[in-house]
Amino acid sequence: MSVTLKSPPSSFLSSSLPKSRLGFANGSSSSTLLFKFNRSFPVLRASSGSSSSVDTGLSTELDAVSTFSEIVPDTVIFDDFEKFPPTAATVSSSLLLGILSLPDTIFRNAVDMALADSTCSPLDNPELRLSCFVNKALVNVGGDLAKLVPGRVSTEVDARLAYDTHGIIRRVHDLLRLYDEIAVPPERLLFKIPSTWQGIEASRLLESEGIQTHLTFVYSFAQAAAAAQAGASVIQIFVGRVRDWARSHSGDPEIEAAIQRGEDPGLALVTKAYNYIHKYGHKSKLMAAAVRNKQDIFSLLGVDYIIAPLKVLQSLKESITSPDEKYSYDRRLSPQSAARYDFTAEELTKWDQLSLASAIGPASVELLAAGLDGYVNQAKRVEELLDKIWPPPNV
């Protein structure tokens, strides 16, 4: 197995773009961004081979883990394009808050152009006007990011629509139309939707139209399996949040079963979801987020995507690949191991709203609610800030 280095076309980068710093929170971590566009960068891609060990010629732990999984920096954008080359991006309310906090960021013009949009400005209803501005801002920034990364751009769908299947679908159609107006093709896009039953059903319907979806806030096997059955393109599980809940709570049967087996409940959830997806031929790609340390990454080698904190990436980059007594670079997740995994009849059900509601435990209920509350609060803060600065000069 080997690492393939690819450089994006020169059109992805512009040496004339200014440098700027942007600070903001992504999930539970804060980051400072330094954009440097003075030269192109290589993109690390995971090899598709099935070898279970790392070539001895690799020089760092980051090289090693990148042969098994695609490693994504845990920032809304990227803290350092040169040290940790980006392959994909997410545009969200959190990102817009960061952009609005600094007037000199290279993305600020995308927001200002949204506020000057002639379609939104004439709307008499303040709520509709602000919603229009937010959609335009998300898409304008997403369009800029699509020029900077070789992979897909995931666009957050308003969390206030989390329990409205048709509202989610309408919003995605609106966003897709706006992306079409700036010539970003659908294959470069994902739409990030909360994994409520209504969100999962929206994903199913959108995927049937050929629109790629990214289901987030997955904290239980039932959610993951339902998302896979819906055909979601990407399913995101938050490893560390499940672990954190388990440390201070009890009473979730799925988590307690993992602990009784001597397993970390967050890692066990990713493993089980991966095995389900691969054993039964679902198309979904699995993303492990909220990993906290190198051991988490080593335990997840083989999962499609791992979102890793910058401090962990830096540690991986600075460490040589010689195996020690504590860590090894064996592939932990693979289609071969998935084929050997046994599921119960209850786990192989055709999931619907009632069975999903019955299967998810208190951890999933509480963590999903907390995640939605955070997204809703961020969306409201964005609208408040846009309302204060609208109309911009010369409008």
d(CA 27, CA 386): 22
Give the mean pLDDT of the chain.
Answer: 84
pLDDT reported for residue 25: 33
Q: Is the pLDDT score of 79 beyond 60? A: no
Is a pLDDT exceeding 80 seen at residue 353? yes
For residue 392, what pLDDT band results from cuts at 50, 70 and 90?
A: low
Q: Which of 74-88, 318-332, 377-391 has the highest mean pLDDT?
A: 377-391
Check pLDDT > 50 for residue 10. Answer: no
Active site annotation includes 192? yes
* Helical residues (DSSP H) of 40-115, grouped into ranges: 61-66, 93-101, 108-115
- pLDDT digit string (tens) for 271-328? 999 999 999 999 999 999 999 999 999 999 999 999 999 899 999 999 887 655 345 6
pLDDT tens profile 354-383: 999 999 999 999 999 999 999 999 999 999
Alpha-carbon radius of gyration of the chain: 21
CB atoms within 10 A of CB 391: 9
Give the number of C-alpha atoms closer than 13 A to the C-alpha of residue 1, restricted to the C-beta side. Answer: 21
Least confident piece of the model among 104-118, 219-233, 339-353: 104-118
Residue 82: the pLDDT is 66
- Of 6, 147, 192, 388, the active-site residue reads 192
How far is CA 292 from its chain centroid?
16
Give yes or no for a contact between 4 and 45, defined as CB atoms under 8 angstroms apart.
yes
Whether residue 63 has pLDDT greater than 90: no
pLDDT above 60 for 21? no
Residue type, 264: D
3-class SS of residue 309: coil
Strands 70-73 and 21-26: unpaired
Q: Contact at 8 Å (CB) between 196 and 368? A: yes
Could you give the CA distance from residue 271 to residue 217 in angstroms, rounded to a whole number?
Answer: 16
What local confidence, expressed as pLDDT, does residue 135 receive? 98
Map out the domains of the chain with their CATH numbers.
Answer: 61-389 (3.20.20.70)
Residue 60, H or E segment: none
